[in-house]
Amino acid sequence: MSAALRGGVEQFAPAKVNLTLRVGRARADGYHPLDSLVVFADWGDTLAVEPADELSLIVEGDGAAALKDEPHNLVLKAAWALRAAADRRELGARLTLTKRLPVAAGLGGGSSDAAAALRALTALWDLDFSLRQLAEIGSAVGADVPVCVHARAARMSGIGEIVAPLAAWPSLPALIVHPGAALSTGPVFKAFDEGDPAPLSAGAVMAAGDLDAALRRLAADANDLEAPARRLCPAVGEALDLLADLPGARLARMSGSGASCFAIFETLDAARQSAALIQRARPDWPAAPVTLAGAV
């Protein structure tokens, strides 16, 4: 996932996909308990870090315009948090983020970028932090950062800080579609709370050995934020309906708090053919055929 550059380090920041997302009633501190099966796609952003006297960030790529008004985004917050944890205020780096993932899309793009910064800067600065320690540092940056630090199929619980890698889970061919609408997390959770949700109950074991077993396991769960997201953003419902009707689609669901949705297929070729159908029907919607990595 990382590559050495001339005097620097490059890290891939994969899209995070919530195959399931159960959400409980908000705690007294306002945070919601979660139970989610999380996987990562072979589609994402790229972060390059190079030695420099100060910390700075340049954002390039198709998604750069959406971040132009966020000079202190999660990537820099992660860099500052890592430097503080190392107690090395003199450390600097030039960070260049090539943004491909849509913003506010339910794909954990910002969190994955922040996690990539933690991994890349640890290597650049020759720091002695384990992935578990980086995940702890990342928890102060954002709730999804710890699972993105590990970047492997995992069960995420608590408010996101408890990450348990899956022992058995297959790679899944899929198609991710973003219906062209940004959907902020806060309003989706607010709409969810209006339904007076119950406390979160313990979920079943998350494990599967092949595609059919994985689909049976996924069918037993859901994304609890899908219904409120549909109410707030009709494009989510349109995307889910289109995905469910595609030839060979085995399951269609929203990821995270939306608006991105995905469908699982038997083969990557089937996902690619469906991407072409989506792009003909809605050329303004990004449609990415991907492999969702399994347990490693």
Whether 77 sits among the annotated catalytic residues: the reply is no
Place of tokens 């993105």: 148
Whether 220 contacts 235, CB under 8 Å: no
Strand residue runs (E) in 167-272: 172-177, 251-254, 261-264
Q: Are 1 and 104 in contact (CB under 8 A)?
A: no
Query: Does 16 participate in catalysis according to the annotation?
Result: yes
Exactly one of 35, 144, 221, 224 is catalytic; name it: 144
Report the phi/psi class of residue 108: left, alpha or beta, with left for phi > 0 and alpha for psi in -120 to 50.
left
- Tokens linked to 69: 């008004």
Question: What are the respective helix, strand and coil percentages of the chain, to the nearest 5?
Answer: 35, 25, 40
Integer angstrom CA distances of residue 167 from 111, 207, 273? 24, 7, 31
How far apart are alpha carbons 286 and 178 in whole angstroms?
A: 5
Active site residues: 16, 144
